[in-house]
Amino acid sequence: MARQSLLRKYLLIATSILVVTFLSVYLIQRTFEQTPDPTVQITGLVTEESMVTLVIQDEPSTLDPTRQESFAERMVCTLLYQSLFEDAGGSVVASDLIEQVKEEQSILTIDLNPFKVFHSGRRVGAEDVKYSIERAIRMANSNSPKLIRLLEGLKGLDKYLSGATEGIDGIQILDGNSISIEWSGDINVLKRILGLPQFAILEKTTLLQNEEYGAFVAEGEEPSINGTGSFRIIAWDDDFLALEPIAVSIKENANRLEICFDERLDSILYGLRMGEYDAALVDTAIGEEKTFFLAESEGWKALSSGEVLYMKTGIPKTPEINKVLILALNRSSLRQALGWERVLESSPELSAGLDQMEVFYENPEIAQSTWEQIKDQQIELQIGYIQHPKMELVASTLSEEYRNLGITAKMVGFEKNEDMEIALKNGSIHAYLNTYYADSRLYQNGAYLQVEPLDIESGMKYVPLLQNEQYYRFGNEDDIPLNLSKILVQ
């Protein structure tokens, strides 16, 4: 009996050892199956389309944005480029994405920051970098006449775009966090390509590009103009970028486009001459109006996550848009204007909290007549705002700016946004201040940018609130009654 009991004990131990061994071998095998071979040489071109997620600074003057380029093409060809280097020459490694770049003859080895993530939360890996560079080179090698014109000012690319033999021989993924790039020819040309403005690391998503319209649509949907839309750059001035939609559809209950910008950046437009700013167009989306009232506590909390101030105006809701104007704002300066270490002064040399605000009028005849009366001080310029201590601070500052220009402006407080809408429609106010906010769940507290339709062909006019003459004139000069001021922030 004792011998049988001992035998059963040994059999149980042996069985346990076999089970543990089997499970260990299985788990090890699964691990190796799921781990890509870090030594595989990967060549060829990836054809998937995706969205732009990361952009860091380079000198914007290397491109001529006033040319009539499709914005979708610009996003594919230019915003594709994530600056692996912060300066145009490619000597300073960007600290937020790249830990180090090692150069050995014709090979660059790039080590990524292991903590950098996309907006989706997924970590940026070497596969994303490889995919992005290959896609960028494929676009650059397409010899598209528009693309050549877009990039012809970049030194070193003229030979490559004209069909020279230089090109990427291969991109090797060393591990999940490092890649090496082998380039045939002058490696400075490769560094120049990697240092192009707005080189973007792309995350492979389920979004495809509709080639006909240049609009991004979800995979499985029929191609249509109801995507994120495509735009044509019609002006790029010191203070703003103006875009014209090529194929955009607006919902019946919407009268504007929403443009989301990366919340990491201190400025949301290129070409600002008031400081050294990074800038990025991260995503475009047509959507519902998202207005938070400052009188509500939740709305006020949203202000600290990248709120944007704008002048909302009486624009009719139309299915088509002729022109749109992106207003230039500086988010960090805006926070200062609303009470965070604020210093408000009337000096064009200071950084702008509100680089530009527009007052639109639905009826051009009424607009011109009304503005003439305002200039002659026959009537007061009436601007509404939501009653809140910090909004009152901004309203009083704006009123003082008008007074300095010899214009009488009255700031009218409202408790509800709906009341301001009614007052705007019945003509008791000419415009009103409001706020936009970013959906933190989607864009990690990124700053939204207000965009208003501007229909020149129907005679709609606007009044730019600027002290200098550095702005683009839509239509004839007579369309702009007066050059006003902007709120300026130290």
**Binning pLDDT at 50, 70 and 90, where does residue 271 land?**
very low
Check residue 358 and give its pLDDT. 30
**Binning pLDDT at 50, 70 and 90, where does residue 123 land?**
low
**Binning pLDDT at 50, 70 and 90, where does residue 414 land?**
confident
Q: Lowest-confidence range among 6-10, 45-49, 139-143? A: 45-49
User: Is residue 182 a contact partner of residue 173, using CB atoms and an 8 Å limit?
Assistant: no
Check residue 176 and give its pLDDT. 58
* Of 77 and 393, the one with more pLDDT: 393
**Binning pLDDT at 50, 70 and 90, where does residue 339 land?**
very low
Check residue 463 and give its pLDDT. 29
Average pLDDT over residues 106-125: 62
Average pLDDT over residues 451-474: 27
d(CA 102, CA 87): 17
Q: Which of 130-134, 264-268, 272-276, 476-480 has the highest mean pLDDT?
A: 130-134
* Of 200 and 366, the one with more pLDDT: 366
Q: Lowest-confidence range among 189-203, 376-390, 460-474? A: 460-474
Instruction: Reply yes or no on whether the pLDDT at 50 is more than 70.
Output: no
**Binning pLDDT at 50, 70 and 90, where does residue 130 land?**
low
Check residue 205 and give its pLDDT. 35
Q: Which of 50-64, 395-409, 433-447 has the highest mean pLDDT?
A: 395-409
Check residue 412 and give its pLDDT. 87
Check residue 204 and give its pLDDT. 36
Check residue 273 and give its pLDDT. 19
Average pLDDT over residues 85-99: 42
Instruction: Give burial (CB, 10 Å; 0-12/13-18/19+) of 381.
Output: buried
* Of 294 and 382, the one with more pLDDT: 382
Instruction: Reply yes or no on whether the pLDDT at 106 is more than 70.
Output: no
Average pLDDT over residues 313-337: 27
Rg (CA), the chain: 28
Cα-Cα-Cα-Cα dihedral of 347, 348, 354, 360, to 10°?
110
* Of 385 and 134, the one with more pLDDT: 385
Check residue 420 and give its pLDDT. 74
Instruction: Reply yes or no on whether the pLDDT at 433 is more than 80.
Output: no
Q: Lowest-confidence range among 76-80, 158-162, 163-167, 418-422? A: 76-80
Instruction: Reply yes or no on whether the pLDDT at 76 is more than 60.
Output: no
Check residue 97 and give its pLDDT. 60
* Of 69 and 12, the one with more pLDDT: 12
Instruction: Reply yes or no on whether the pLDDT at 429 is more than 70.
Output: yes
Q: How many CB atoms lie within 10 A of CB 71?
A: 23
Average pLDDT over residues 454-467: 28
Mean pLDDT of the residues in the chain:
41
Instruction: Reply yes or no on whether the pLDDT at 392 is more than 50.
Output: yes
d(CA 4, CA 384): 95
Check residue 348 and give its pLDDT. 28
Domains and CATH numbers, the chain: 41-208 (3.90.76.10), 220-479 (no CATH)
Closest CA to 90 of 155, 172, 180: 155
* Of 184 and 434, the one with more pLDDT: 184
Check residue 187 and give its pLDDT. 60
Check residue 408 and give its pLDDT. 74
